[in-house]
A and B are shown apart, each in its own frame.
Chain A
Amino acid sequence: MLRYIVQRLIAMAITFFIIISISFFILRLMPGSFADDPTLPREVVEQLEDKYHLNEPLIIQYGYFLKDAVKLDFGVSLKVEPKRTVGEILASKIPITMQLNLFAMLFMIPIGIILGIIAAIRKNRISDHLISVVVVLFISVPSFVFASGLQYIVAFKWNLLPTVLSKEQVLNWARFKSMILPILALSFSGIATITRYVRSELCEALNSEYMLLAKSKGLTQLQATIRHAMRNSFVPLANIIIPIFTSILFGSLVIEKIFAIPGMGGVLINAINAKDHTLTIGLLCFYSVISLMTVLIVDLSYGIIDPRIRIGGRK
C-alpha cells in the first residue's frame, strides 16, 4: 500500500511538472511583455528586465519559474487586481467557491441516493420511468442553462429568491437564501449521475443470491433491502462522488459568473479576458492540484472501501 502511494505521488509530481512546464512556455511564448512599452526609458526597461530576469536565457527563466512554482508562488496579478500576489487572491476566493461547492455536494448526495433507491425498488413502474426521464434531462441539459432558467423564473418572475448572491460577509439566512439557486443549478447533473448509479447498483444487488438467502432466512423484502442490498450498493458510491466534486468545481466557474458570486470563477474569467496570464496560470495550477488530489483519493479509496480490490499488489 505504501509503495503504491509513493508510486502515485511520483506520478502526480510528474503530471504537475508537465502542467507547470506547459504553463511556463505558453506564458513566455505569448507575444509582448509588460516591459514592452515604448514610452519607457531604456534604463527603466533594463531594470525591469533585470528585476524579473527577462534578460536571461529562457532555460534559466524556466529554472526560476520552477523554483517558485514548487512553492506555489505564481507571482503578482498584472491587471485584474494589480500588485496583489496570486496566492493572496486565491486565498480570498477559495473559501467562497468551496462553500458553494460543499453545499451543492451536501444537497445532491441524499437527493440522488433517495431517487436512485426509489427507481430501483419500483423498477419498470411509473415512478421509475419518471425518474429516468428526469435523469436524462438533468444529465443532458447544461448547468448554465438551468442556472439561467432558475434565475429568470424563480428569482425574477416569481420573486421567491434573490437573483444574485447577497453581499453579506457572514453566512446567515439572507446569504444562504441567495445561494439556493446556484446550489440547485450546480447539483442537477450530480443528482442525475448518482441516481443512475445507485439505481443500477441496487437493481443488481436486489437480484443477487444473498438477497434470496436473506429472504429465505425470514427477513421481509424491506428488511433485506435495507440491511443487505443497500449497504452493498453504496460501497462503490464513494468512487463516483469525488469525480463529481471535480466536475462541480469546473461547473461552478460559469455558475459563479451567472449569479455574480465573487469566487474563483469570476476571477478566472476576468483573468482570461484581461489577458492577465500570471493569474490565469496560478488559478489553473490550483485547479490541477485539486484534480490530481481527487484522482489520488479515488484510487486509494478503492482499496479502503472494498478490500477485495488489492491495490498495487503483485500478481
Chain B
Amino acid sequence: MKNEKDIKLTERDFEFVQLEEDIKDQKFEGEAIGFFKDAFMRFRKNKGSLVAFIFIAIIAFFSIFGPAMNEYSFREQNPKLTFMPPRIPGIEKLGIFDGSIERNLRKTSLETKYKDSIVKVVREYEERGTEMVVARVNMYKYKGVEDKYFWFGTDYLGRDQWTRLWRGTRISFAIALLAVTVNLVIGVVYGSISGYYGGMIDVVMQRIVEILISIPRFVIIILFLLYMGAGIVPIALSLVLTGWVGMNYLIRAQFYKYKGQEYVLASRTLGATDSRLIFRHILPNAIGPIITSVTFAVPVAIFSESFLAYLGLGIQAPEPSIGVLLAEGQKELLNYPHLILFPAIVISILMISFNLFGNGLRDAFDPTLRGQE
C-alpha cells in the first residue's frame, strides 16, 4: 500500500465539472450601489447640508484664489490710505460699500476741506457753540484716490482687507486641516491598538487618556503656546494635544463592536495577521463615523484658533488669520465696523456650514441616527 505522503496532486488531476453547462442565474439589472454611493444618495436629499457644502466650497475657493484677485498683497502697507472703508465696483452705485463713512465735521469745513467728497449730510447739531454736522464722506474722493478700489477696505496700516481676509481664511483652514489630520492619525492608531488588543493594554492606554482629558483643554493649550510661541504648526499641534482623544474613543468603540464578529473570526482562522484584521477588516467599518467626526472637528479648530488670537496667542504679524483679523477689528469696532464685519461673516458661515454639513454626513452614513442632535 502506498504511503499517503506519496500522493501528489497536480493541476492536471482536476477538471471542471460544469464548464459546458449554462448558469441559470438571472443577471442583475441596474448597477450595484456601494457604500459611498448609497451615502451620497441620502446626502443629496438633505437640502440644508447641500447648501452648507456649497458655502464651504465657495469659501474654500476664495481662500485659494481670493488673495490673487486684486493687485494688493497681504503685507503691502499704504500709510496714507489707512482705515479706508470698503468700496466695491458695481455695488457702489446702490449706495452701499461705496467708500463712504459717517464723520462728525464742523459745518464750516463742509464747503472747504470736504467740498467734493460729501455724499450727504445726515443731521446737524451744535457742540460748545460750534455748528457741527454728521455727514457721509466719500473717503476715496477726499483722499484723491478715486481710481482705487479696496473691496473690503483697509486696516490701520492701510493693508487691503480683501487679500488679508482670504489669506487669513487660508491659514485658518491650514491650521484646522493640519490639526484634524494629526488628530485623526493619532486617534485612529491609538484607538485601534487599544480596542483591538484589549485587556491590560487597553486598561493602561485608557488610564493615560483619562489623565489627559482631565486636564482642562485651554489650560494645556495656553501653556504649550507660551512655550512654543505662536505659528501655524504650534497652534495646530496645541489643538492636537488633547484633540485626538475623541477620535480614540470613537475608534475604540468600533473595535469593541466588530472584533468579536464571525467574519473577523473567519479571517483570523484563515491566518490573517493582526494588522490585516485591523486595517482591512475592522477599521473600514468606521469610515462613516470617522468622516463625520472629522467634519465636526474642523469648526472646533477654527473656533479655537480665533479664541487664541483674542487671547494674544494668534499667528505672528504680518500673517493674518480669521482670529487675528477679528481681534484686530474688535479694537476699532465702533469707528470702523467694516474691519470686523467681513471676518465675522466668514467665520459664522463657516461654523454654521460645517455643523450642518456634518449633520448631513452623519445622517447619510448612518440613517438610524437621523433626527438626533
Contacts and interface: CB of A to CB of B under 8 A. Distances in A.
B213 to A, nearest CB: 9
B215 interface: yes
A15 B340 contact: no
Contacts of B352: 136-137, 140-141
Contacts of B214: 11-12, 15, 292, 295
Contacts of A281: 223
Given A15-B215, A272-B311, A277 B330 contact: no
Q: Is the interface of B mostly helix, strand, loop or mixed?
A: helix
B333 A291 contact: no
B307 interface: yes
Contact of A254 (B210, B307, B372): B307
A172 B29 CA distance: 77
B218 interface: yes
Interface string B215-237: 11011101100110000000000
Contact of A19 (B219, B227, B334, B344): B219
A54 B306 CA distance: 37
A156 interface: yes
B216 A254 contact: no
Interface string A124-139: 0000000000011101
B337 interface: yes
Contacts of B227: 26, 29-30
Interface string A28-47: 01100000000000000000
B313 interface: yes
Interface in B180-230: 210-211, 214-216, 218-220, 222-223, 226-227
Interface in B264-316: 299, 303, 306-307, 310-313
A95 interface: no
Given A148-B333, A269-B312, A280 B351 contact: no
A225 interface: no
Interface string B332-369: 01100100100010011001101110000000000000
A130 B279 CA distance: 44
A288 B222 contact: no
Nearest to B304: A142
A140 B355 contact: yes
A15 B211 contact: yes
B324 interface: no
B309 to A, nearest CB: 10
B211 to A, nearest CB: 6
B326 A144 contact: yes
Size category, A interface: 35 or more
A301 interface: no
B333 A142 contact: no
A100 B307 CA distance: 19
Nearest to A294: B216
B356 A136 contact: yes
Nearest to A25: B227
Nearest to B356: A136
A205 B131 CA distance: 67
B355 A149 contact: no
A12 B216 CA distance: 12
A149 B226 CA distance: 30
A200 B219 contact: no
A99 interface: no
A152 B312 contact: no
B302 to A, nearest CB: 9
Contact of B373 (A140, A196, A288): A196
Contacts of A145: 326, 344, 347-348
A85 interface: no
B105 to A, nearest CB: 19
Given A26-B223, A152-B334, A272 B340 contact: no
Interface of A: 11-12, 14-15, 18-19, 22-23, 26, 29-30, 135-137, 139-142, 144-145, 148-149, 151-152, 156, 163, 196, 199-200, 246, 250, 253-254, 257-258, 268-269, 272-273, 277, 280-281, 284, 287-288, 291-292, 295
Interface of B: 210-211, 214-216, 218-220, 222-223, 226-227, 299, 303, 306-307, 310-313, 326, 329-330, 333-334, 337, 340, 344, 347-348, 351-352, 354-356, 372-373
10 contacts: A11-B211, A14-B211, A30-B226, A30-B227, A140-B355, A254-B307, A257-B310, A258-B330, A284-B223, A287-B219
